[in-house]
Structure 1
Amino acid sequence: MGFEEEEAIIRSYDGEADRARVEDLERRCEVGPAERVYLFTDTMGDPMCRIRNSPMYKMLVAELDKELIGVIQGSIKVVTVHGRPRDLARVGYILGLRVAPLHRRKGIGSSLVRRLEEWFIAKDVDLAYMATEKENDASVNLFIDKLGYIKFRTPAMLVNPVHCHPFHIPSNVEIEKIKVEEAEFLYRKFMASMEFFPNDIHNVLRNKLSLGTWVAYPRGESFGCDGQVPSSWAMLSVWNSGELFKLRVGKAPLSCLLYTKSSRLMDKYFPCFKLPYLPDFFHPFGFYFMYGVHRDGPLSGKLVRRLCQFVHNMAAKANKDCKVIVTEVAGHDTLRHHIPHWKLLSCLEDLWCMKALKNEFHELTKTPPQRALFVDPREV
C-alpha cells in the first residue's frame, strides 16, 4: 500500500539559504542498490557542480515545515537523435533526484520530476531522459510505472581501478595528444551521427575539466590534422570528474573487502608480482571519465586498450586522488571488449529511460538502439 502525497513546497534552489541543507541531504542519501554498493556524493561546497557545465540548467528543492526533504537537477542541450547530423533534438536530462529517507514513498520524488518537466516544456524541450541502475527498483517504478517514461537504452558503465603499477605501452604504438580544434574536427567527422552526440562538442572539449584528447596508431604511420587517418587508429578524451565532486563507498560485498585486503598484503610483501589491487573506496575519491571513445581499422581494438592503459598511467602519476577510470558505451558496442574494466566494479547494464514531451517525438522513444552511443561527460 502506498502513502498519501505530502504537500511540500517546491521551488528553485537558493545557494545562500539551501547549500548546507542540500549537502546534508546528499550525505544522508545513498546511491545504488542495497545488495551491491552504496555510493555517497561529496559536492565539495557546490551542490550544483554536476550541472554547472551544461548549456542550460536548473535545480529544484522540496521543503516541508521548513525542512529541506528533496532535491532534483536538470540540464538542457541539443543532441543528435536519428543518426544523421541534421536530425537534432532538444533534450532535458534529469539527475540528482534525492528524497530524505523519512519522506520517501510519499510523492515527493514524482512532484519534483513533474515540476522539472514543466521547466523543460517552458524551454521548448523535445525529450526528457534519465539514467539509473537496472536494479534500482524504486527509481524504475517511479519513472516508468508512475511518470510514463520508457526503457530506451541499456549502456554499460565500465570501471577500472587505478593502482600504483604503470602499464607498459609497446614501442610499436604511437600515442599523441592532439589540439582541441583537431579533436573537434575528428569528432564531428566520425562521431556526429552517434546517438546523443552533443551539438556543442566544442564547449565540452574546451572546458577546463577536459584534460585533452589522445589518438593511438601504429608507429611508422602518420596522423594528419586534415582528417587523413592511419589504417588503424583510436581516439578518446578525458574528463576530470574528481574536480567537481568526490565519491565514497558506504557498503560493499564481503568478497570485495576480502580481495582489497589480501591484494594489498600481496603487493606489500611481493611487489615484484605487480598485482593490481582495489584502492581505498571508503574515503572520498575522484575519478577520470573517458568519453568520445572511437576506433577504426583491424588493429583498433588493441589501440583502444593501449589508450586506456595510457590514461591509467596518467591518472596514477598526476592525480593521487583519482582512484578509478570510468567510461560508458552502448550495450551492443563491441568496444566494451577492448576497454579494461573490473566486472566487480562495473555495471554492465545501466538503464536510460526517455519520455517524449512533444507528440512528434513519441516514435523516437521506441527506435531500436544503434551500436554506438555518445555519453556526455557533463552528465556523469
Structure 2
Amino acid sequence: MSSGEHFTIRSFDKEQDGSRVEELERKCEVGIRKSPVLLTDTFGDPLCRISNSPMYEMLVAEHGDELVGIIRGSIKVVSIGNPSKDQAKVGYILGLRVSPLHRRRGIGSLLVRKIEEWFMANLVDYAYMATDMKNEASIKLFIDKLGYSKFRSPTILVNPVGQHASHIPSSARITKLNIAQAEHLLRKFMTSTEFFPQDIDQVLLNRLSLGTWIAVNASDHEIWNLLEDDDQPKPRSWAMVSVWNCGEVFKLRVGRAPLACVLLAKTSRFISKLLSCINIRAMPDVFNLFGFYFMYGIHGEGPEAMSLVNSLCHYVHNMGIRCQDCKLVVTEIGGCDIFRHAVPHWKLLSCSEDLWCIKAMRKKTETSSSFDWITAQPPPNIFVDPRDV
C-alpha cells in the first residue's frame, strides 16, 4: 500500500470495492477504443478483462472513503517477432480510470507507476498499452510523461451481425478443429508472430473460446496433411480463424451516436425486414446492451487464401446470427496485414488506426535477448490475444 498527498493506492478487494468500481466506471463513461462512435462497456465482474491471463493485478486509488481511480494489469510471455523466435515477458495495462472530479492531480500517473512496480517485481521485460490515436490525454500521459513510445498501429474491423445469413461459396470447405489440432497449427504457423502468447493452449481451452476453423477449397480433400510435419502434399490454399465470445464477460452499447447513425440503424432494419428476399444487410440494435464475437489468429496461405479468409468471416457472422446476444463480429489485425482486405466490416464502426505504446521495463543487460524490439521494423502482422480485448 502506498499514499500520495491526498489518496491511497492499494490492491482491489472484490467485496469492498466491487460496487464502487462499477460506480466509477459509470462516472467516467469511457468509450472503448473500438469505434469512432462511443462504445461504452458494462462489466459483470471488474476483473473479467484480466482474470483469464496467467498473472493479473488490479489497483484502486482512494481519497478518504471515495474510490477515485483504478487500473488493471496482466502479465504473459509472448513472441517478439524476430528471426530467432525470441520471447519476452510483457505486462499489459488496461482499464485506467480516474474520477472526473479528481483528474490532473497525478492519480493516473501514480496508478501507472504502481502497476509498473508490480511488473518489475515479476521480471517483466516490456509494458504496453493500447489507446485511440485521437485520445490526446492518454497519449500525453503515457508518451510525454511516462516514457512510452508509439509502437504499433493495428486496424480494428467491426462487422454488424445482420438478420440474414451470409453466402458462403460452395467451393469453400470449412471444418472445425479440435483443440490439439488448433494448437498445433497456431504454433506451427504463428509462433514467430509478434505478441503470439506462449500459453496459446490455455487460450484455446478457455470457456470463452468457441473454437478454431480451417477452410480449404472443396477440391483439396487432404486438409489434415497440414497437421503433419512430413512431406505429404498440402492444400494449394487454406485459411484458419479462431473465435472468442466476449459477450460472456462484458457487454457494449453505442452511446452518443450521431442522429444520422441512429436513423440509419432503424431504417436499415426496417428495409431489411420489409425486403428480406433480397438480403439487405441491416445495422443491428446496438443502442441496448449486446455481446460480440472476436476473431483472432487469422492466417492463410496460397493463391486463394484471401477468399478463404473471407468465407471464414462469413461463417463466423452466421454463427453470430444463431446467438441472440451477438450483434457484432470484431477483429484486430496488423495495419499492413493483407488479410485486412478480406475481412467484411463497416467503416462507420471500425477504426483504421489503433495505437499500441510500449516501454522497456528492464535494461538490455538484464534480458536474455539482444534484439531491440522497440526500434525494430514493424512486421506486417501481429497476434492480438483475445484476452486483451
- Confirm or deny a common fold (TM above 0.5): yes
1:77–1:97 Cα change, 3 Å: same
Aligned to 2:192: 193
Aligned to 1:308: 313
| Distance apart, 1:30 and its partner CA | 2.5
| Worse-superposed segment, 139-148 or 219-228 | 219-228
Aligned to 2:39: 39
- Amino acid aligned to 2:348: L
Paired residue for 1:338, among 339, 342, 345? 342
| Worse-superposed segment, 79-88 or 209-218 | 79-88
- Amino acid aligned to 2:292: F
> TM (normalized to structure 1)?
0.95
Partner Cα separation in structure 1 for residue 338 and residue 11 of structure 2: 42
Aligned to 1:328: 332
> TM (normalized to structure 2)?
0.93
Residues 185-221 of structure 1 show CA distances to partners (whole Å, capped at 9, x for unaligned) of 1111110000011011111111111110000000021
User: Unaligned regions of 5+ residues in structure 1, if any?
Assistant: none
Q: Alignment partner of 1:290: what SS?
A: strand
Paired residue for 1:359, among 356, 360, 363? 363
| Distance apart, 1:83 and its partner CA | 2.8
- Amino acid aligned to 2:122: K
Paired residue for 2:228, among 222, 226, 241? 226
Partner Cα separation in structure 1 for residue 5 and residue 258 of structure 2: 35
Aligned to 2:267: 262
Partner Cα separation in structure 2 for residue 273 and residue 29 of structure 1: 43
| Worse-superposed segment, 353-362 or 208-217 | 353-362
- Amino acid aligned to 2:361: L
| Distance apart, 1:85 and its partner CA | 6.2
* Preserved CA contact (<8 Å) 2:32 2:41: no
Q: Alignment partner of 2:309: what SS?
A: helix
Partner Cα separation in structure 2 for residue 151 and residue 133 of structure 1: 12
User: Unaligned regions of 5+ residues in structure 2, if any?
Assistant: none
Partner Cα separation in structure 1 for residue 305 and residue 94 of structure 2: 34
Partner Cα separation in structure 2 for residue 84 and residue 15 of structure 1: 43
Q: Does 1:371 align with 2:380?
A: yes
Q: Does 1:289 align with 2:294?
A: yes
Aligned to 1:91: 90
Residues 294-352 of structure 1 show CA distances to partners (whole Å, capped at 9, x for unaligned) of 010000000000000000001111x1111100101111111110001111100110000
Q: Alignment partner of 1:166: what SS?
A: coil
Partner Cα separation in structure 2 for residue 43 and residue 85 of structure 1: 40
* Preserved CA contact (<8 Å) 1:132 1:351: yes
* Preserved CA contact (<8 Å) 2:32 2:39: no
1:157–1:43 Cα change, 3 Å: same
| Distance apart, 1:41 and its partner CA | 1.5
Q: Alignment partner of 2:30: what SS?
A: coil
Alignment of 1:56-205 (within 5 A): 56-84=55-83, 86-205=85-204
- Amino acid aligned to 2:126: L
Partner Cα separation in structure 1 for residue 32 and residue 118 of structure 2: 29
Q: Alignment partner of 1:120: what SS?
A: helix
* Preserved CA contact (<8 Å) 1:32 1:136: no
Partner Cα separation in structure 1 for residue 361 and residue 313 of structure 2: 38
1:332–1:86 Cα change, 3 Å: closer
| Distance apart, 1:6 and its partner CA | 5.6
| Distance apart, 1:33 and its partner CA | 8.8
Q: Alignment partner of 1:184: what SS?
A: helix
| Distance apart, 1:27 and its partner CA | 2.0
Q: Alignment partner of 2:223: what SS?
A: coil
Structure 1: 4+ residue segments shifted above 4 A: none
| Distance apart, 1:126 and its partner CA | 0.4
- Amino acid aligned to 2:334: A
1:84–1:161 Cα change, 3 Å: same
Partner Cα separation in structure 1 for residue 32 and residue 85 of structure 2: 39
Partner Cα separation in structure 2 for residue 271 and residue 86 of structure 1: 50
Q: Alignment partner of 1:42: what SS?
A: strand
Count the aligned residue pairs: 374
Q: Alignment partner of 2:105: what SS?
A: coil
CA RMSD of the aligned region, Å?
Answer: 1.7
Partner Cα separation in structure 2 for residue 283 and residue 106 of structure 1: 35
Partner Cα separation in structure 2 for residue 287 and residue 14 of structure 1: 28
Identical counterparts, % of pairs: 57
* Preserved CA contact (<8 Å) 1:180 1:212: yes
